[in-house]
Amino acid sequence: MPRDPLIALVGKPSSGKSTSLNSLTDSFAKVGNFPFTTIDPQKAIGYLQIPCACSRTTLPNNAADPPPLQSRCKPNYGSCHNGVRQVPIELLDVAGLVPGAHEGKGLGNKFLDDLRHADALIHVVDVSGTTDAEGKATRGYDPSADVAWFRDEIVRWVLGNLMQKWGGLKRRHTAIKATAVETLQGQFSGYGSTSAIVAKTLDQLALKQPLQDWDNATIERVVNTFVDVKFPTVLALNKIDHADADKNISKIARAEKPERIVLCSAISEVFLRKLAKQGFVRYVPGEEHVETREDLIADGDPEGGGLKEMDEKLRTRVENLKDMVLFRFGSTGVNQVLTRAAEVLGLVPVFPVRNIGTFGSGEAGAGERAPVFRDCVLVGRGSTVGDVYRKVMGDAPMAYVESVGGLRVGEDELVAVGKNDILSFKVGRA
Ligand SMILES: Nc1nc2c(ncn2[C@@H]2O[C@H](COP(=O)(O)OP(=O)(O)OP(=O)(O)O)[C@@H](O)[C@H]2O)c(=O)[nH]1
């Protein structure tokens, strides 16, 4: 059965991992329950924001069905507000990595061990340049170096392990006439790899020589590509509120693909949520607008929305944060970090419903209409209808699967956003 996707937060000490994790997990919007039964202390629950199926669907044969489906969207897990759904997703908090980790420096081995479970990484980079490679306080450090050495540590770890065994592995490969995918997967399964991941790695390289003829440079290319395929990474350039951040952001942005980069200020998000909880501001996580009592009074509400008055110091901090982060960058960026990680991972949200005619699951209360789209599961790119069936229904025998309009879909069809992503599963004999 496909397991739930897992995104790991990684980075050197003091880059802001804990603060980022807090800002991602302490969602003060009412988010309800989550579906993961065993929570280990290293895991936390984040909420991925996606457009909900309720925002794009009307009931078949009754396009004008009142009330709109959005008002009846009641997720079992997470929440849905105005068609934006927050879907729970597991995050892994990984120990800080320092250069030399592949030789066991710092918490190196523990870090690399933890990494095996991750499907994608969020690399939290301190873009202010105020911490050195080991996380010690400094000024003027170049954080683009972190991006390079960090990946290099993972590559050297995998490469080191592979080279130790290469001689024997090559002999066995030739003796049993294995394919390159079989031989490499035998070595890479320990990193949570699958044959599909190894096959994709080799496809990308399109190597001409057979495995037994690979030279060291070729093996290194294979490992580099494998690391990119197995650990797709988003760079969360954190601490953008800091005055020194701008020049560092430009340097990294010039060297990296734009889709890999997200700018964020985790501390600003944590601060705004705290102020909102304490009743000083109105703030919806992830949005540009922060409203204070003064703002609301100026807008004509003499009660100032019931918000508390801030002292001069607090007011100045909030105004600075608006200028330095929200106006300049549009938001604190933390929600986009997760959205981008889900994108690089190619996650597809699928909505299983009991009744494909009404999109409902469960019973309506007296005088109420049945709730819709109660469930949403996240599956990886390339997942089939059958994969989702097994994830949701386990080993129960499949009779058939229906998509919108009552159309039957085959087990091998791929699920994709807007296509076969609302499904109803029927158990039993076809
Ligand atoms: N200016 C600024 N400081 C931040 C931001 N995020 C975190 N910090 C500060 O950076 C320092 C380190 O943050 P942590 O979240 O503890 O970093 P960490 O990566 O978890 O550190 P370790 O636990 O040592 O691995 C703290 O003093 C935070 O307040 C940010 O967005 N802006």
Which domain CATH number covers 359?
3.10.20.30
Final residue in a domain of this structure, among 318, 345, 372: 345
Q: Are residues 128 and 256 in the same domain?
A: yes
pLDDT reported for residue 365? 60
| 413 vs 27 pLDDT, higher one | 413
Q: Domain for residue 271, yes or no?
A: no
CA torsion angle 278 280 282 287 (round to 10)? -90
Q: Are residues 367 and 357 in the same domain?
A: yes
Q: Are residues 317 and 383 in the same domain?
A: no
User: Which residue's entry shows tokens 């954080």?
Assistant: 143
Q: Average pLDDT for residues 373-402, to the nearest whole number?
A: 92
Q: Domain for residue 1, yes or no?
A: no
Q: Domain for residue 190, yes or no?
A: yes
Q: Is the pLDDT of residue 133 over 70?
A: yes
Among 18-27, 127-136, 291-300, 328-337, which stretch is predicted with the lowest mean pLDDT?
18-27
Q: How many of the other CB atoms lie within 10 Å of CB of 140?
A: 10
Question: Which element (helix H / strand E) includes 43?
Answer: strand 43-51
Q: Domain for residue 273, yes or no?
A: no
Q: Are residues 117 and 45 in the same domain?
A: yes
CA torsion angle 246 251 252 257 (round to 10)? 120
Q: Are residues 118 and 250 in the same domain?
A: yes
Query: Number of structural domains, the chain?
Result: 4
What crossing angle do the helices spanning 108-115 and 144-175 adopt, rounded to 10°? 70
Q: DSSP strand E in 232-388: where?
A: 233-238, 261-264, 281-283, 290-292, 348-352, 377-379
Task: Check if 19 has its Cβ closer than 6 Å to any atom of ligand 1.
Answer: yes
Rounded to two decimals, the pTM is 0.89
pLDDT reported for residue 43? 80
Residue 28 identity: F
Q: Average pLDDT for residues 395-412, to the nearest whole number?
A: 92
From the CA of 290, how far away is ligand 1's center (Å)?
Answer: 23
Task: Check if 187 has its Cβ closer than 6 Å to any atom of ligand 1.
Answer: no
Q: Is the pLDDT of residue 38 over 50?
A: no
Q: Are residues 125 and 49 in the same domain?
A: yes
From the CA of 239, how far away is ligand 1's center (Å)?
Answer: 8
Q: Are residues 20 and 139 in the same domain?
A: yes
pLDDT confidence of 356, banded at 50, 70, 90? confident
Name the residue with the closest Cα to ligand 1, atom 1: 239
Q: Is the pLDDT of residue 36 over 80?
A: no
Candidates 415, 345, 386, 420; CA nearest to 90 is: 345
Query: pLDDT per residue over 39-51, tens digit each?
Result: 556 788 898 999 9
From the CA of 130, how far away is ligand 1's center (Å)?
Answer: 11
Query: pLDDT per residue over 54-107, tens digit each?
Result: 888 766 555 455 557 888 888 988 889 888 898 999 998 887 777 877 776 665
Query: What is the number of the ligand 1 atom nearest to the C-alpha of 268?
Result: 31
Q: Domain for residue 272, yes or no?
A: no
Q: Contact, 138 vs 132, CB < 8 A? A: yes
- Between CA 207 and CA 39 the distance in angstroms is 42
Q: Domain for residue 338, yes or no?
A: yes
The three-point CA angle 328-333-335 to 5° equals 150
Q: Are residues 122 and 38 in the same domain?
A: yes
**Domain of 206, in residue numbers:** 152-230
ipTM of the complex: 0.98
What crossing angle do the helices spanning 144-175 and 216-230 adopt, rounded to 10°? 120
From the CA of 135, how far away is ligand 1's center (Å)?
Answer: 10
Q: Are residues 102 and 212 in the same domain?
A: no
Q: Contact, 382 vs 414, CB < 8 A? A: yes
From the CA of 27, how far away is ligand 1's center (Å)?
Answer: 19
Task: Check if 335 has its Cβ closer than 6 Å to any atom of ligand 1.
Answer: no
CATH of the domain at 134: 3.40.50.300
Q: Are residues 131 and 236 in the same domain?
A: yes
| 1 vs 361 pLDDT, higher one | 361
Q: Domain for residue 156, yes or no?
A: yes
Query: pLDDT per residue over 146-191, tens digit each?
Result: 999 989 989 998 999 899 999 999 999 999 999 999 999 999 998 8
Q: Contact, 239 vs 179, CB < 8 A? A: no
pLDDT reported for residue 139? 93
Name the residue with the closest Cα to ligand 1, atom 30: 239
Q: Are residues 250 and 322 in the same domain?
A: no
Q: Domain for residue 17, yes or no?
A: yes
Task: Check if 242 has its Cβ closer than 6 Å to any atom of ligand 1.
Answer: yes
pLDDT confidence of 31, banded at 50, 70, 90? very low
Residue 192 identity: G
What's the whole-number average pLDDT of the chain?
A: 88
Q: What percent of the chain has pLDDT over 90?
A: 62
Q: Average pLDDT for residues 189-215, to the nearest whole number?
A: 94
Q: Are residues 41 and 102 in the same domain?
A: yes
| 243 vs 366 pLDDT, higher one | 243
Task: Check if 17 has its Cβ closer than 6 Å to any atom of ligand 1.
Answer: yes
CA torsion angle 151 156 159 161 (round to 10)? -120
Q: Is the pLDDT of residue 28 over 50?
A: no
pLDDT reported for residue 30? 42
Among 54-58, 259-263, 365-369, which stretch is predicted with the lowest mean pLDDT?
365-369
pLDDT reported for residue 170? 95
Among 12-21, 195-204, 362-371, which stretch is predicted with the lowest mean pLDDT?
362-371
